[in-house]
């Protein structure tokens, strides 16, 4: 994966396959601790403890098309490479939350990438799923919640072209505002 937004696109699909109808994504830069936190939570089916304990093993997967699952394994590798770690919490019937801790200034830390492109793909693919995206750095933060957006749209669907454009440009704009001056990859 070239950036964190691609990991998000990949991992959100684990949530969707677990039957989630709401996915919560947080990216927080914590310069004081030199950490970057990526958190994805869902209200999907959750995992039993046996599966949870081995799910970052690349040879453990729920897919049937091939016996290898690299999504979580790649993210764990990335976390550990940058001096961080991947934490997973899950409860059957309630959902799953992953917290990926990365070394903010570590040379191997991937850039955040385009969260707007990731959400464009996700919202287009299934406009019935709800998302909350929070971007945070120091005292700056941005929150987008599709449940609020739906209230304004009433019967207009989330994948209407004008709505999509509004959402993606808003995310792109806010990513620069929130992370400008904090993440070296953002030139603001």
Partner 1 sequence: MKSLAELDAIRQKARADLTARNEGSRKVVVGMATCGIAAGARPVMNTLVEEIRTRGLNDVAVTMTGCIGVCRLEPIAEVYESDGSKVTYVKLDANKARRIVAEHLVNGSICEDLTIGAAETAAKNA
Binding residue for partner 1, selected from 41, 44, 46, 71, defined by CB under 8 A = 71
* CB closer to partner 1 out of 9 and 104: 9
* CB closer to partner 1 out of 92 and 148: 148
Size of interface with partner 1, in residues (CB under 8 A): 37
* CB closer to partner 1 out of 59 and 166: 166
**By CB under 8 A, residue 148 contacts partner 1:** yes
> Which residues, 6 or more positions from 87, have their beta carbon under 8 angstroms from its beta carbon?
98, 99, 100, 101
Nearest Cα neighbor of 31 from 181, 188, 185 is: 181
Cβ 33 to partner 1, closest distance in Å?
28
Question: Mask: binding to partner 1, 81-120, rule CB under 8 A, as x and -?
Answer: ------------------------------------xx-x
- Element housing 95 (H / E): strand 95-103
Residue with tokens 């109808």: 21
CA 186, CA 188: separation in Å to the nearest integer?
A: 6
**By CB under 8 A, residue 34 contacts partner 1:** no
> Which residues, 6 or more positions from 146, have their beta carbon under 8 angstroms from its beta carbon?
123, 129, 130, 131, 132, 158
**By CB under 8 A, residue 55 contacts partner 1:** no
Chain-centroid distance of CA 55 in Å reads: 18
* CB closer to partner 1 out of 52 and 74: 74
């Amino acid at each position: 994966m070239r950036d964190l937004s691609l990991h998000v696109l990949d991992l959100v699909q684990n949530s969707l396959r677990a039957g989630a109808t709401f996915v919560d994504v947080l990216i927080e830069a914590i310069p004081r601790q030199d950490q970057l936190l990526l958190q994805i939570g869902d209200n999907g089916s959750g995992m039993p403890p046996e599966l949870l304990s081995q799910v970052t093993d690349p040879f453990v997967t729920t897919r049937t098309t091939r016996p290898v699952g690299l999504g979580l394994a790649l993210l764990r590798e990335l976390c550990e490479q940058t001096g961080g770690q991947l934490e997973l919490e899950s409860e059957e019937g309630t959902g799953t939350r992953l917290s990926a801790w990365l070394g903010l200034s570590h040379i191997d830390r991937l850039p955040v990438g385009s969260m707007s492109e990731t959400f464009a793909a996700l919202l287009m693919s299934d406009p019935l799923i709800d998302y909350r995206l929070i971007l945070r750095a120091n005292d700056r933060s941005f929150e987008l919640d599709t449940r609020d957006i739906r209230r304004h749209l009433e019967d207009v669907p989330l994948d209407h072209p004008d709505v999509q454009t509004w959402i993606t440009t808003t995310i792109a704009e806010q990513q620069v505002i929130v992370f400008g001056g904090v993440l070296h990859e953002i030139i603001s």
